[in-house]
Amino acid sequence: MSLINTQVKPFKATAYHNGKFVDLTEASLKGKWSVFVFYPADFTFVCPTELEDLANNYAEFAKLGVEVYGISTDTHFAHKAWHDTSDAIKKVQYPLVGDPTGLLARNFEVMIEEEGLALRGTFVINPEGQIKVLEVHDNGIGRDATELLRKVKAAQYVASHPGEVCPAKWTEGAATLKPSLDLVGKI
Amino acid sequence: MSLINTQVKPFKATAYHNGKFVDLTEASLKGKWSVFVFYPADFTFVCPTELEDLANNYAEFAKLGVEVYGISTDTHFAHKAWHDTSDAIKKVQYPLVGDPTGLLARNFEVMIEEEGLALRGTFVINPEGQIKVLEVHDNGIGRDATELLRKVKAAQYVASHPGEVCPAKWTEGAATLKPSLDLVGKI
Amino acid sequence: MSLINTQVKPFKATAYHNGKFVDLTEASLKGKWSVFVFYPADFTFVCPTELEDLANNYAEFAKLGVEVYGISTDTHFAHKAWHDTSDAIKKVQYPLVGDPTGLLARNFEVMIEEEGLALRGTFVINPEGQIKVLEVHDNGIGRDATELLRKVKAAQYVASHPGEVCPAKWTEGAATLKPSLDLVGKI
Amino acid sequence: MSLINTQVKPFKATAYHNGKFVDLTEASLKGKWSVFVFYPADFTFVCPTELEDLANNYAEFAKLGVEVYGISTDTHFAHKAWHDTSDAIKKVQYPLVGDPTGLLARNFEVMIEEEGLALRGTFVINPEGQIKVLEVHDNGIGRDATELLRKVKAAQYVASHPGEVCPAKWTEGAATLKPSLDLVGKI
Amino acid sequence: MSLINTQVKPFKATAYHNGKFVDLTEASLKGKWSVFVFYPADFTFVCPTELEDLANNYAEFAKLGVEVYGISTDTHFAHKAWHDTSDAIKKVQYPLVGDPTGLLARNFEVMIEEEGLALRGTFVINPEGQIKVLEVHDNGIGRDATELLRKVKAAQYVASHPGEVCPAKWTEGAATLKPSLDLVGKI
Amino acid sequence: MSLINTQVKPFKATAYHNGKFVDLTEASLKGKWSVFVFYPADFTFVCPTELEDLANNYAEFAKLGVEVYGISTDTHFAHKAWHDTSDAIKKVQYPLVGDPTGLLARNFEVMIEEEGLALRGTFVINPEGQIKVLEVHDNGIGRDATELLRKVKAAQYVASHPGEVCPAKWTEGAATLKPSLDLVGKI
Amino acid sequence: MSLINTQVKPFKATAYHNGKFVDLTEASLKGKWSVFVFYPADFTFVCPTELEDLANNYAEFAKLGVEVYGISTDTHFAHKAWHDTSDAIKKVQYPLVGDPTGLLARNFEVMIEEEGLALRGTFVINPEGQIKVLEVHDNGIGRDATELLRKVKAAQYVASHPGEVCPAKWTEGAATLKPSLDLVGKI
Amino acid sequence: MSLINTQVKPFKATAYHNGKFVDLTEASLKGKWSVFVFYPADFTFVCPTELEDLANNYAEFAKLGVEVYGISTDTHFAHKAWHDTSDAIKKVQYPLVGDPTGLLARNFEVMIEEEGLALRGTFVINPEGQIKVLEVHDNGIGRDATELLRKVKAAQYVASHPGEVCPAKWTEGAATLKPSLDLVGKI
Amino acid sequence: MSLINTQVKPFKATAYHNGKFVDLTEASLKGKWSVFVFYPADFTFVCPTELEDLANNYAEFAKLGVEVYGISTDTHFAHKAWHDTSDAIKKVQYPLVGDPTGLLARNFEVMIEEEGLALRGTFVINPEGQIKVLEVHDNGIGRDATELLRKVKAAQYVASHPGEVCPAKWTEGAATLKPSLDLVGKI
Amino acid sequence: MSLINTQVKPFKATAYHNGKFVDLTEASLKGKWSVFVFYPADFTFVCPTELEDLANNYAEFAKLGVEVYGISTDTHFAHKAWHDTSDAIKKVQYPLVGDPTGLLARNFEVMIEEEGLALRGTFVINPEGQIKVLEVHDNGIGRDATELLRKVKAAQYVASHPGEVCPAKWTEGAATLKPSLDLVGKI
């Protein structure tokens, strides 16, 4: 069964965020849009470029009222140390969540059991805590923050305009479709 | 468990393709890259714009040696009728696969059981029949063929350049990363 | 066990009916006679002739207070598109029910599991929601609406004349039999 | 699951046929078309009229190479006694099969368990022993031998003309349909 | 475990009795002695001689306040037809019970499952509905009504004379035994 | 299920017979007819009269080639002691079988579990070890050896005259019936 | 687990005692000491000598307020007959308990299942119904009533002198031991 | 089920014997008679008097070819220390077996689970390793070595004189009984 | 799962302590620190040197408010006897706990099942009954009481100084560490 | 059950060692002594002092032929980064093993499941791969490398001097004990 439209399962985690250790639960997600960005491991190769790409676009996510969460099976201690020592990660202003038990990675079905590491999974979660978009890459294939932004905007548009749907390659400001019996079989 | 890196499960299906009904199995995927594009239903709203978007980019997919498959739980008869009558779908040159038993939708975990329809799921499959990228949208949120093209190219690059990985927002021709001990903790 | 005399199981479905999409449940059947006519798929060969034959006799069914339902595992979207484009189906004034989950086809035991399509099954249902007559053909063999009319009339006659039974080849107006001890072993 | 296209299950039974007791098994059906006609009980009301109707049409069934079998849960002894004493049943030239264990009634899913009697079920079986048409009436509703003849002919026509199907209300000599891609969505 | 001293299990059946069809249940047995006489099938060989033998002794059973029930897995319709046509059975004044479901034959453990017919079982039942004597013969071996009468009388005597027992070959009027400590080891 | 026509189950037992202790198994029964006569307990009331009645008729059983076995759940020691001290039992020339484990009483379904004693059960067993007649009385009701002799003779007659059956109240020398189609429904 | 210190399980039995048949249950044991003496079978060899030995010592058991029970799987009828006819058993004034169901033999774990007979088991039971001493011999080895008397006295002494224990070979009147810390490791 | 006549189960144990630690298994028992004497614990009260009583009679056991084994759940280390320090135990010349795992106590069903100590159980074992006599006392009640000697002698006599049995209170040299049919019911 | 931080499971035991037998349960541990010292067996080699080493350091444990418990699967009787006779053990002033059932050894997972003896396990338990330090040696390897003292002190220090942790080789009076975000990744 | 004397279970892991990533399995441990030192997490407080303490004593471990392994549930990437940036960890010359799946922590029963981190567990493993000493501290309590060295030496001494055991507080060069019967109960 797909995770789409399911509720985020209960969890407890500690994140490193702006020089502090903060506790998070599924309740922390309620009331605003969230993006969960899983990556395999701190101190590795593709990961910092992806996290940096998100950091560079963070202002725009913020403008949309979206919080971004970077998540790996490392501890929050390792996240702080990485943040302290990596030029790329230093730019990250969003929370880096420690998941050493793998609870989150398993809840979102991105755990590679034989390695104890997460796949590159991205999840857009609405303010009610439901997953609306998911995307998982095999670990060598990097993600693109601007694609993610487009999806977030489409998801937000649909959520706030009941009765409209976003057609293919929809971007902000483009026309949407209003489902009606007349359109059936006519496009 | 994630579907990433799993083998496509055995299946039998009939597709409408270039004026003919053709039989497909998991063996039909071997030897070239494939993209599986699930959508909810023929004769509906978002679907034709997505399929048309793919049709408009089909030449490029073809250049990359990629076959595209549009899949819904409709029959191949309905696919032909839609192709005959819809201006948007008339452009589609790739196979439209009938999945009335829902076998494919269930194998790729995109079946909405209470509706009998598929979610908007996209899957990039390598020539060995393994899923390398997956993406699923809640049904109101359209997809973008150019984003899909970028992912396919990254997946192909990584597959043909063992020992390199694509960093975030990698596009064709951009530099990749070569993992090495020296990079650990240095980016 | 036979379905004869069992209650129609609960269901939810959407039908295309006279230019509208309407919702149906088992409750919609209560209070009048119904005929359920399953067929394999929209846009195929035998199906439209059967549905057209029923359409041609629909006035007579209506006179008997009987509603006819055409049912396939296609969606109601496909039903509308078929109705829009087929000369035969255009004549259909009764509801065409979408059953993409196959719930109805399985409830009436006419699902061909390996195809995801229904067999040609016909069911006469009384105003209490009980199945009184059933008939299933292998898919190449067409049905005859006048035969169905005869059976509906016999079923209605027996229902409204307790203590009488319809002998073989009974047609409207013909004599019936009144069971009595005297007749035992005497015919 | 429907019985349509399933193989007749193994059975052993004794029938009264032309003044003799004869043994029957599923092997007795191989090589010619058969019609199984279940009825509730010897010495009752509707039953003899149905069996007589079949007897009156028996010559035509025979011309089509079809054997007819009347079956109830009575013994073959009761069948003989009924044949000896009933004017209607005296006309029957086809086998009357005793099914006191109810094995046949259960195999064909027409047993009324709380009565130990069969429903009015009719089954057309091809020379390979597969059920092609089935029809079951609640017990007050009589059958019509001429309708049965039409169905047998349609089933035989389809069997001997691969690639053709009988449209609705087809009768012997009428045009059939040849499925082809061109017809899809065109009727 | 033996059926002796067990309660007759609940049942429902229809019997042919003196030109009427009558309903019977286990409650019908309460308050008087009953004899259940199972036989294989109507219209066969040994059966009518046994039923005739009972009919010839019926006056005496009646004098003892005993009702006799003839039971086979035939229907009550067949029982009536047999009664109408057989000279032997015409004499039967006691109920002939139809057991087409085999419920009674199974409750009294005389069903031959592979034939759907009952063995020749005889059961003497007291006014409380408890089985006091049972006797079963393989089907070729006929019973004797006078032996049955002797057993019924012995059972009735013991029931109405608590503290006495009938010795071997006891017949009406003969001396009985009164159990006492003194007799232990002394006969 | 009835014990009629089942094979006697394997057993081992010791009997007191003509001043000796002898071992018996199911193999001891092969090749001649046997009668098993269960009774509740040595040194009690009805029992010796039944065993004496059999002793008085033993010559006739012997002439028919039948061995009689008296069986209770007492030991063979108690049987000898009873034989030594009871005038009635002194006459017994047939084996008295000890069944202290209750194996035989349970095999023949005559064990009263809450008392550890057998019911008055009688079984006629053919030379192949199959039970052909059974009779069980509640414990106060005595049996009659002459009735048993009649049944044994009928069973032997049927066994040695295949194709004939003994009608009701058949006794040695009386006419039997030969089943044939002509008799069906004619008696 | 040992039976020592367990409660005698509920039972119902009939005994022959002083010319009467009396009913016994576990409640009959409450309030006085009991000795249960199992033996294999009435009318055998070792058994009467053991029962006679107990009979000869019965006055002394009585003086100690102890009831003795002789128990075998024979019936109380057999016990009476044995008492009537055996010179040894005539002396027995204590109850001889019939255990034809083997309930007691199984409760005290002395049943030889393949023979249906009890082993030579002896059990000393206190007035609360708890087993304090047990002794079982293979069946050829006889018991000695004087040894049993010694054990009963020791058990009674310990029961009535809390805080003392009987050393080895203790007999009535001999010194006992009072457990104390000082004695630990000092004897 | 009784342990009488069962085979001693496999075991491994270490004993203190004549100044040495020796290993024992069930094989050590084969070829001579053994007596197993369980007691609760070293350094306690009743135990040394029982072990001393056996020591005082050990010469006679030896003459009979019997080995005695004292067994508790203490270790063989504790046995040696007790032997070194207790005047009573110093006399013991037979093996003192350590059973700290409780395997032997459980095999002989004398373990008090809530204390981890054995009951006072005595077992006579024949040279084939089968238990012939068992005796268990509640822990306050001491045993008597001379009673044990009598039982051993009786067991040996019966073993070496097949066809004879020891009557009650048999002691060495006394007459035995020879079972024969003539004695049945005559003692 | 580790025993660290689990609650001591309920137990009952008897110890020899300062010339008395005293009862202990898990409740006896509440309110002060405890050390459980398991050893294999009384009267053996390494054990007394370890117990003596603890005895020599007992004053210091006492000063820290710690009770020491020596535990083996011997009985408290054996403990007393050992204390009486061994020069080394005579010095022991702390309780020697008897564990003949092995309950404690199993609760602390130090039972060697095939020997019935405990491994050399040491456990430091806080006043709430939780295990804070554990140490188990294969049986040839002796322990050192001064190492144990160091661990007890560290455990007590941490317990009484929330927010501090003892670094490696910490001894009483040495500096501790206060965890703070600033230290993360900085040592 | 204790882990003492069990075999190290199969595992696969990657360690950071002297500037390289090296693969380890249980086979890597064979042929020399190993010490496994689990700690909770990289970049935390107590951990570096413990690892530094071991580093300072590493020369002595090396002299004894012992390899030391530091293990946490962090990745080998994090280990390298920590080694690169921490002054304390820079001194570590022994392998730091990554255990992100927790396989090793679970095999050695030191996983804190709700945190995904290991307890402070230390294990001495012999060249055959068997655990001889184990020690686990609650996480605030630091370990001491010199205590570990003493234990390793004792374990090695016992391994190389069969028949000797190390008494309490044994240190290199001190006398050992030779177990003999004479010592039992004498220390």
D187 touches B: beta carbon within 8 Å: no
Residues 6+ apart with CB under 8 A from I6: I130, I131
Smallest CA–CA distance, residue D82 to chain E, in Å, is: 8
Nearest Cα residue in chain B from C99? B116
**pLDDT number for residue G48:** 85
Distance in angstroms (rounded) separating the CA atoms of residues F66 and F133:
14
pLDDT number for residue G140: 83
Question: Measuring CA to CA, how many Å separate G180 from each of G165, G185, I73?
Answer: 11, 11, 22
Per-residue confidence at D183, pLDDT binned at 50, 70, 90? low
pLDDT mean across residues, chain H: 92
Q: Is A16 helix (H, G, I), strand (E, B) or coil?
A: strand
- In this predicted model, which residue has the larger pLDDT, C80 or H139? C80
**Contacts with H, J 140-159, CB within 8 Å:** none
Instruction: Give the residue, D167 or J67, on which the prediction is more confident.
Output: J67
Nearest-Cα residue of chain D relative to residue E11: D114
Contact at CB, C43 and B78, closer than 8 angstroms: yes
The alpha carbon of residue D33 is apart from the nearest alpha carbon of chain F, in Å, by: 29
Measured between CB atoms, does F187 come within 8 Å of chain D? no
What values do phi and psi take at D89, rounded to 5?
-75, -25
Residue C129 DSSP SS3: coil
Q: Is D160 left (phi over 0), alpha (psi -120 to 50) or beta?
A: alpha
Asked if D166 is an active-site residue, the reply is no
Query: Using 50, 70 and 90 to split pLDDT, how confident is the model at B150?
Result: very high
Touching partners of D (3+ C-beta pairs < 8 Å): B, C, E, F
pLDDT in tens, F44-89: 876 788 999 999 999 999 999 999 999 999 999 999 999 999 998 9
Calculate mean pLDDT across residues I71-83.
Answer: 96
pLDDT interval class at C65 (50, 70, 90): very high
A71 - beta bridge partners? A38, A97
The single residue listed with the structure tokens 């099942």 is I113
pLDDT tens-digit series, residues I129-140: 999 999 999 988
Under the banding of pLDDT at 50, 70 and 90, the label for residue C20 is very high
Instruction: Please report the pLDDT score of residue B183 as a whole number.
Output: 67
Question: Domains of chain B (ranges plus CATH)?
Answer: 6-161 (3.40.30.10)
CA distance H80 to H93: 12
Please check the confidence at residue H45 and state whether its pLDDT lies above 80.
no
Residue I102 has what DSSP assignment? -
Q: With 80 as the cut, is the pLDDT of residue H46 above it? A: no
B176: pLDDT confidence band, cut at 50, 70 and 90? Answer: confident
Q: Could you give the percent of chain C with pLDDT greater than 90? A: 79
DSSP F1-37: ---TTPBPPP-EEEEEETTEEEEEEGGGGTTSEEEEE
- Mean pLDDT is lowest, of A70-79, E136-145, E148-157, J33-42, for E136-145
Interatomic CA distance for residues C17 and B184, integer angstroms: 65
Q: What is the model's pLDDT at position I30?
A: 95
Q: What percent of chain D has pLDDT over 70?
A: 97
Nearest-Å Rg of the Cα atoms of chain H is 17
pLDDT for the residue E187: 62
Q: Is the pLDDT of residue F171 over 90?
A: no
H or E segment to which residue A77 belongs: helix A76-85
Instruction: Name subunits touching H (3+ CB pairs < 8 A).
Output: F, G, I, J
**With bands split at pLDDT 50, 70 and 90, how would you rate the model's confidence at I163?**
confident
Tens-digit pLDDT profile for residues A87-145: 989 999 999 999 999 999 999 999 999 999 999 999 999 999 999 999 999 988 889 99
Minimal C-alpha gap between D114 and chain E (Å)? 7
**Which residues does residue I54 pair with via DSSP β-bridges, in sequence order?**
none
Residue of chain H nearest F78, judged by CA positions: H185
Nearest to G170 by CA among G181, G182, G159, G155: G155
Does H44 have pLDDT greater than 90? Answer: no
pLDDT recorded at residue A92? 96
CB H81 within 8 A of CB I82: yes
Please tell me the predicted confidence (pLDDT) of residue G183.
Answer: 67
Residue in I45, I112, I144 nearest the CB of J177: I45
Question: Do the bridges between strand D117-118 and strand D111-112 make them parallel or antiparallel, or are there none, so unpaired?
Answer: antiparallel
Secondary structure class of A116 (helix, strand, coil):
coil
- The per-residue pLDDT for range F81-137, each reduced to its tens digit, is 999 999 989 999 999 999 999 999 999 999 999 999 999 999 999 999 999 999 999
Q: Are E170 and E176 in contact (CB under 8 A)?
A: yes
Question: Mind telling me how many Å the CA of H81 is from chain J's nearest CA?
Answer: 5
CB atoms within 10 A of CB A23: 10
pLDDT in tens, J6-18: 999 999 999 999 9
Nearest residue in J to I131, CA atom: J138
Chain D hits for F184, CB-CB cut-off 8 Å, are 77, 80-81
Q: Is the pLDDT assigned to residue G121 strictly greater than 90?
A: yes
E strand or H helix at C135, and its extent? strand C131-137
Give the C-alpha separation, B181 to J20, whole Å: 8
**Between helices C145-160 and C46-56, what is the axis angle to 10°?**
50
Q: Which residues pair with J98 in a beta bridge?
A: J14, J72
In single-letter form, the type of residue at position E31 comes to G
Q: Scan for tokens 């199992």, then name that residue.
A: G38
Quick: pLDDT tens for I15-43.
999 999 999 999 999 999 999 999 999 99
Please state, rounded to an integer, the average pLDDT across all residues of chain G: 92
The residue-averaged pLDDT of I37-61 equals 91
The structure's pTM equals 0.88
Identify the pLDDT of residue E169: 86
Among B56, F140, C162, B111, residue whose Cα is nearest residue E157: F140
Identify the residue whose tokens are 């060969």.
C45
Task: Report the C-alpha gap between A117 and A112 in whole angstroms.
Answer: 6
Mean per-residue pLDDT, B88-104: 96
Amino acid residing at A48: P
**E150: confidence class by pLDDT, cuts 50, 70, 90:** very high
Closest CA to F77 of F51, F48, F98, F103: F98
Give pLDDT tens digits for H144-162.
Answer: 999 999 999 999 999 999 8
In the numeric block, the tokens 């007992």 are attached to I58
Distance from C-alpha of H88 to C-alpha of H128, rounded to nearest angstrom: 32
The C-alpha angle with vertex I159 and arms to I153 and I162, in degrees rounded to 5, equals 130
Mean pLDDT of F145-161: 93
Task: Evaluate whether C97 touches C70 at the Cβ level (below 8 Å).
Answer: yes
Radius of gyration from C-alpha coordinates of chain A? 17
Active-site pick, F8, F24, F35, F47 = F47
D117/E75 touch (CB, cutoff 8 Å), yes or no:
yes
Which amino acid makes up residue G138? Answer: D
CB atoms near residue E126 (< 10 Å): 21
| Mean pLDDT score, E118-129 | 97
Which of F109, F133, F164 is opposite residue E137, by nearest beta carbon? F133
Q: How many CB atoms lie within 10 A of CB A62?
A: 13
Q: Which member of A13, A29, A47, A119 is catalytic?
A: A47
Q: Report the pLDDT value the prediction gives residue E182, as an integer from 0 to 100.
A: 72
Cα gap A56→A106, rounded to integer Å:
28
* B7-60 residue pLDDT tens: 999 999 999 999 999 999 999 999 999 999 999 999 987 778 899 999 999 999
ipTM: 0.86
Total residue count of chain B as it appears in this document: 187
A166: CB partners within 8 A, 6+ apart? A154, A157, A158, A174, A176, A177, B46, B140, B141, B142
Nearest chain H residue to J187 by CA distance is: H81
Whether G187 has a pLDDT exceeding 70, the answer reads: no
F49 CB within 8 Å of a chain E CB: yes
Between CA H183 and CA H185, with CA H184 as vertex, the angle to 5 degrees is 105
Instruction: Please write down the HEC assignment for all residues of chain D.
Output: CCCCCCECCCCEEEEEECCEEEEEEHHHHCCCEEEEEECCCCCCCHHHHHHHHHHHCHHHHHHCCEEEEEEECCCHHHHHHHHHHCHHHHCCCCCEEECCCCHHHHHCCCEECCCCEECEEEEEECCCCEEEEEEEECCCCCCCHHHHHHHHHHHHHHHHCCCCECCCCCCCCCCCECCCHHHCCCC
3-state secondary structure chain E: CCCCCCECCCCEEEEEECCEEEEEEHHHHCCCEEEEEECCCCCCCHHHHHHHHHHHCHHHHHHCCEEEEEEECCCHHHHHHHHHHCHHHHCCCCCEEECCCCHHHHHCCCEECCCCEECEEEEEECCCCEEEEEEEECCCECCCHHHHHHHHHHHHHHHHCCCCECCCCCCCCCCCECCCHHHCCCC
Measured CA to CA, the distance from residue E97 to residue H186 in angstroms comes to 59
CB-based burial, B49-84: b 16+ in 10 Å, e otherwise: bbbbbbbebbeebeeeebbbbbbbbbbbbbbbbbbb
Are the beta carbons of C161 and D42 closer than 8 angstroms?
A: no
* F132, E137 contact by CB (below 8 A): yes
Nearest by Cα to F139 from F153, F160, F124, F118: F118
C137/D170 touch (CB, cutoff 8 Å), yes or no: no
Distances (CA, A) of C163 to C133, C150, C178, E77, G145: 19, 20, 6, 17, 87
* Mean pLDDT confidence for D2-22: 96
| Mean pLDDT on J107-136 | 97
Query: pLDDT at residue I7 above 90?
Result: yes
